[in-house]
């Protein structure tokens, strides 16, 4: 890493561990105690850490939500209509 890097090293390490747990959890795929334990937290931890480091642009919450809904809902409705027609 460069000297001017603004990355948070413990978050990067925790995200790497959570990614490993996700992959490991998908490889054991049984009802063992280890599998149940790993599946109980691995994805949630990864998403919390990703949200912790999310910067986004500094718009108001309302404009952020409206823009996100446009990006998500317009393609959803488009492909829903296409799949109904087909």
Alpha-carbon distance of 50 to 84, in angstroms, equals 35
pLDDT digits (tens, 9 = 90+) for 29-85: 677 777 778 778 888 888 888 887 776 666 676 777 788 788 888 889 999 999 999
29 and 70 share a domain?
A: no
pLDDT of residue 14 exceeding 70, the answer is: yes
38 and 61 share a domain?
A: no
Q: How many structural domains is the chain composed of?
A: 2
Average pLDDT over residues 4-11: 78
Output 50 or 17, whichever has higher pLDDT: 17
49 and 76 share a domain?
A: no
pLDDT of residue 4 exceeding 60, the answer is: no
- Tell me which residue of 14, 38, 40, 43 sits closest to 25, measured CA to CA: 38
CA 65 to chain centre: 17
User: Which domain covers residue 15, as residue numbers?
Assistant: 1-55
pLDDT of residue 2 exceeding 60, the answer is: no
């Amino acid at each position: 890493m460069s000297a001017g890097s603004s990355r948070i090293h413990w978050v990067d390490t925790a995200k790497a561990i959570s990614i490993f747990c996700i992959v490991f959890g998908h490889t054991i795929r049984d009802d063992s105690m280890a599998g149940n334990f790993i599946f109980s937290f691995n994805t949630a931890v990864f998403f919390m850490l990703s949200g912790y480091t999310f910067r986004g642009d500094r718009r108001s919450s309302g404009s952020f939500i409206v823009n996100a809904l446009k990006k998500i809902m317009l393609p959803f409705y488009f492909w829903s209509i296409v799949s109904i027609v087909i």
